Amino acid sequence: MLKKFSDWLKYNRSCSDCTIRNYTLGLRLFNEYLKSLSLSIEECESIKIRHIDQFIYEQRFFRKKNERTVNNYLAWLKLFLRFCLIQWYNVENYNKIMYVKEHKKKIEALSEEECIKLFEYFKSVKCKNETEELIKTRNLAIVSLFMYTGLRLSELSNLKIKEIWEDMQLIGKGGKERYISIHPDDLRIIKLYLFLRKDNSEWLFVSHSRSCKNRKLSNVGIENVIKEWSRKAWIIGRVFPHKLRHTFATNLLRSNAPLPHIQQLLGHNNISTTQIYLTVLNSEIKKTQNSITRF
């Protein structure tokens, strides 16, 4: 059943491998719970709403999962039941599943000062040999693309050399197409990185460590690049790829870019998703209010 569901997500819903992996992992977790009740995912017609409610209760109050996580589980279960219904199984009405109320999501982004610190650090790094110069140039290209194009982690890691143009079409989350522009300065960094490389890999970003040299740089590898360089730049707090995507969006807002334009650049289906970035500017709005002269 899980294999059929995975194939359906891939071929009927055009979901990415990462999305499919997350959905199936969540369902396997639910399947483990069902086994304790002498049931399984394969017996989808025996799954009742009360089983889902009990599973979510266990995840929230015994496994200490937050509201966002359990709502992800619920979304996956709803979609699975919908799939079962399409396959003519007599399953429970998935519309009866109710989401847990979430607290407002807090968006994390770098401040303007932190952005300056990050790039100033890159300028200050002195390289001892060609390999260090190669890695530095690659890492600068990675950070620049996150900061100035708003790419998702999976989108950046899957870039191929042949796809890189000043104006390029990108197939993003859910198979959605969007256009992004790469600034000439960032293109020069990418071209320098490619010039320094001595391999024939089709991937834009590859590993230069001895253990997996010239292999495609993994998502974890990219996350480690961001983590290491932000730490060396003395940026307080955890920095991760999606935080740089958030920074891209909030910097556009600071520049008074219209929300519909930001929505298109980020590849959001709904503008309400884009509007959550407005909360990041609340502290700046408060500063503006507090700067008024008092009499």
Positions marked catalytic? 152, 173, 242, 245, 268, 277
Strand boundaries in the chain, DSSP class E:
167-171, 177-181
CA atoms of 114 and 144, how far apart (whole Å): 14
- With a CB cutoff of 8 Å and minimum separation 6, the contacts of 178 are 169, 170, 172, 264, 265, 267
Facing residues of 169 across strands?
Answer: 179
Residue type, 180: I
- Token couple for 82: 């919908």
CA atoms of 97 and 73, how far apart (whole Å): 11
- Token couple for 35: 């086994």
- With a CB cutoff of 8 Å and minimum separation 6, the contacts of 264 are 178
